Amino acid sequence: MPHLFLNEKSCETTADPDRVNRAMTELVRTIIAVARVDRPGTVLVARDPVNALRLAEDHPIAKWIGTPGAKELWQRLLLMQTKYPHEDAYPDGETFSDVAYSHDGVPVTGLGAAHLMGGAGVSLKLDPRWDTDRVTLQREELLDEEADGSALSEVHIPHAATREHVETHLPWIREEVQAALKNDLSGIRTGAELWERCPDLFPNLRFLPHVEAQIRELKQYWVHPVRKRLAEMDHAVEVWDAASEPEGPLWGSTVTPEHGARKREYCLFTDLDGTDQYFDTHLRFTPGAGRLHFRFLQVDRRAHVAHIGNKLGI
């Protein structure tokens, strides 16, 4: 299961103490419901340490811990994997400083991190906005220097504030668990090993000839991020439904296009059929400025990979 990111905005309201305590009890039970399906993969990521959380104005978490029945839930929460702040869940070397998210015009760090990392948001149900299994965010990304300004888009993330919300996500959670088991690549430590296993591990991907050398010569600290991204891409193609996703698969990580001069100067490659094509769609792997450029062929249900390495032009 992807990480669960606590929506800090749901903890910044003023509410009756009993309502706050009930909402926190339900939230912990919601998190536990996810953990029952994927115990090793469920991680709660918050802005602050869980023992320092404020659930509402003038309502530290200690007030909830002292309520009847909360102690056992609190102990179970402490036994779970947790991270803080939100940025601690990012890959090493990545800051995503060029991307910002908002909801109804208000910045939302936790929910934005959930989208960046392919995770889910979780909230205290103290406002009707958070009584939903899916949240819509506004995303703003600074463009490269050649493309002036920023790109605005609307994105959606899975979300839960109650156990009923979790029910709607169970197929997705189970699918993620099976994908993690299928794509256990922990034994691969070098780029050469990764390349040799590419045909078996990533049957829905094809690589331009020069990409073999790029993969074989990967720096060791890049092997894991690259194999993770390739596994996500392959899975996305495998489960792609053209009817519900007409623009292409949901890639599992943030995917952006190159613009203007950078696209024309750096993104034209000779594809496997001998035609020149723009591979201007790319995703990131870290640490550093790692980029993976590809194009998706809907008719063939395959993704062709043209570049794995540093940002083009560097």
DSSP string, 178-190: HHHHHT--TT--S
Measured in residues, the chain has a length of 314
pLDDT digits (tens, 9 = 90+) for 72-117: 999 999 988 899 998 888 866 667 788 899 999 999 999 999 988 8
What tokens does 115 get?
């989208």
Say which amino acid occupies 312.
Answer: L
Rounded (5°) CA angle 203-206-209 = 140
pLDDT digits (tens, 9 = 90+) for 26-72: 999 999 999 999 887 799 999 999 999 999 999 999 999 999 999 99
pLDDT classification of 141: cutoffs 50, 70, 90: confident
- Asked, as a colleague might, if the bond just before 199 is cis with ω within 30 of 0, I would say no
Provide the β-strand partners of residue 139: 101, 153
What tokens does 281 get?
């769609």
pTM (predicted TM-score)? 0.67
Is 90 exceeded by the pLDDT of residue 256? no
Tell me how far apart the alpha carbons of residues 215 and 283 are, in angstroms, rounded to a whole number: 16
Is 80 exceeded by the pLDDT of residue 216? yes
Residue 187: the pLDDT is 62
Tell me how far apart the alpha carbons of residues 185 and 48 are, in angstroms, rounded to a whole number: 32
pLDDT digits (tens, 9 = 90+) for 149-196: 677 888 899 999 999 999 999 988 887 777 666 655 556 778 999 999
Is 90 exceeded by the pLDDT of residue 260? no
- The fraction of the chain above a pLDDT of 90, given in percent, is 64
Tell me how far apart the alpha carbons of residues 21 and 10 are, in angstroms, rounded to a whole number: 13
Is 90 exceeded by the pLDDT of residue 240? yes
What tokens does 290 get?
């790692």
What tokens does 296 get?
């998706």
Q: Please name the residues in contact with 60: beta carbons below 8 A apart, sequence gap of 6 or more.
A: 52, 53, 54
Q: Beta 276-278 vs 281-285: how paired, if at all?
A: unpaired
Is 90 exceeded by the pLDDT of residue 132? yes
Residue 1: the pLDDT is 57
Say which amino acid occupies 198.
Answer: C
Tell me how far apart the alpha carbons of residues 309 and 49 are, in angstroms, rounded to a whole number: 35
Please, are residues 154 and 139 in contact by the beta-carbon 8 Å criterion? yes
Tell me how far apart the alpha carbons of residues 162 and 124 are, in angstroms, rounded to a whole number: 9
237/220: higher pLDDT = 237
**H/E run at residue 227:** helix 220-238
Is 70 exceeded by the pLDDT of residue 147? no
Residue 221: the pLDDT is 72
Please, are residues 111 and 3 in contact by the beta-carbon 8 Å criterion? no
User: Measured in Å, how far apart are the chain's first and last C-alpha atoms?
Assistant: 35
